[in-house]
């Protein structure tokens, strides 16, 4: 009877070990699929950023060359003014983001830490 119980226990342990291995294999396969999907998403995001930058540079070049060719404001078109304003807003937005990053806070500079009055 004891040997039967021992063999039954060993059989249950084998089945449990096989189930754990199957679960681990399924988890590893799911992790591989998820990492591949994340890699594709990251690649698509970087590709969208790199395709955006040349478009912005072409737009800036067009606005600057248009303003240089037409220095008289009476000869400007509505489209040219819109394009110039868009370029100005993009450049000003990049400046503001750089200021926030440089200050490491949203409003004001941290003068209290450095000022001794």
pTM: 0.38
The answer to whether 110 and 103 have CB atoms below 8 angstroms apart is: yes
Q: What distance in Å separates the CA atoms of residue 65 and residue 58, rounded to the nearest whole number?
A: 10
Question: How many Cβ atoms from other residues are within 10 Å of residue 63's Cβ?
Answer: 19
Structure confidence at residue 23 (pLDDT): 83
Q: What is the largest CA-CA distance in the chain?
A: 106
Per-residue pLDDT tens for 28-69?
777 777 666 666 676 676 666 666 666 767 776 776 666 667
Question: How many Cβ atoms from other residues are within 10 Å of residue 16's Cβ?
Answer: 10
């Amino acid at each position: 009877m004891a040997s039967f119980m021992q063999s039954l226990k060993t059989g249950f342990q084998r089945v449990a070990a096989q189930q754990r291995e199957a679960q681990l294999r399924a988890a590893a396969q799911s992790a591989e699929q998820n990492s591949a999907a994340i890699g594709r998403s990251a690649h698509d995001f970087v590709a969208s950023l790199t395709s955006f930058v040349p478009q912005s540079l072409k737009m800036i070049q067009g606005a600057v060359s248009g303003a240089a060719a037409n220095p008289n404001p009476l000869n400007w078109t509505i489209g040219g003014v819109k394009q110039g304003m868009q370029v100005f807003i993009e450049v000003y937005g990049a400046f503001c983001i750089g200021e926030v990053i440089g200050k490491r806070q949203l409003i004001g500079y941290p003068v209290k830490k450095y000022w001794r009055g």
